[in-house]
Amino acid sequence: MADRRAYHHGNLREALVEATVALIEEKGPLAFTLAEAARQAGVSAAAPYRHFKGRDELLEEVARQGFDEFADRLAAAFADGRPNPLAAFMRVGEAYLAFARERPGHYMAMFEGGLSIAGNVELTRTSNRARQVLLDAAEQLSARLPPEARPPARMMADHIFALAHGVVELFLRGRPGGRSPIPASEMLESGVLIYLRGLGLIDG
């Protein structure tokens, strides 16, 4: 249980976020209540209403913080395409998996909490920042082809995003090797390489 002193130090909002992350990791993003978050944070059931209108708003804050860190990690991994776009692209995939593995509560809030990202200005902003990294990477990778032969960057970004999310859902969670003897990182890397070869973006 979170330390009750967090409330007295003026950190109630963050204490509730941390409590919610723990509950999501334990129960999933749809199975906790605001009262449980308050109890986990060591405060009264009425205390969360000082910062959040309800459970969904608290879940949105967890997702917002997650998207912010997620975008930072992807941007740092891409590093403007250095030393080359393909290497940078593969680092982005590794960063995606690392975030899902190290921040499962945030990841589930972001992608499995049933939130309307389009209906929330802050969620839209932070999720778009992460998406922009994939768009930039796709554009740099396809720059070697003539303009008329380049696949749409948005399509590429969506396909890679879907591939990474599928690897997380199917192969990253649970006991290692439970569903596949191949590590999730290798599963994602091989899938991305096959996809890029199919588009004619890499040789081999």
Write the pLDDT tens digit of every residue in 5-59: 444 446 888 999 999 999 999 999 999 899 999 999 889 888 888 888 889 999 9
- HSE at residue 50, side-chain half, CA atoms within 13 A, is 15
Rounded Cα–Cα distance for residues 137 and 85 (Å): 7
Alpha helices, H only, the chain: 5-8, 12-27, 34-41, 55-78, 85-102, 104-112, 121-142, 153-167, 184-198
The pLDDT score that the predictor gives to residue 133 is: 94
Tokens of 8: 């007295």
141 in Cβ contact with 89 (< 8 Å): yes
The pLDDT score that the predictor gives to residue 77 is: 95
Question: What is the residue extent of each domain of the chain?
Answer: 5-50, 56-198
**Residues 63-103 pLDDT 10s:** 999 999 999 999 999 998 888 999 999 999 999 999 999 99
The residue written with tokens 């459970």 in the block is: 55
118 in Cβ contact with 124 (< 8 Å): yes
pTM (two decimals): 0.88
Nearest to 16 by CA among 37, 39, 46: 37
The pLDDT score that the predictor gives to residue 175 is: 54
> Which phi and psi (to 5°) does residue 42 adopt?
80, 30
Rounded Cα–Cα distance for residues 28 and 104 (Å): 10
Mean pLDDT of the chain, nearest integer: 88
Is the CATH code 1.10.357.10 the one for domain 56-198? yes
**Residues whose CB falls within 8 Å of the CB of residue 8, separated by 6 or more in sequence, listed in order:** none
pLDDT at 180 over 80: no
pLDDT at 173 over 90: no
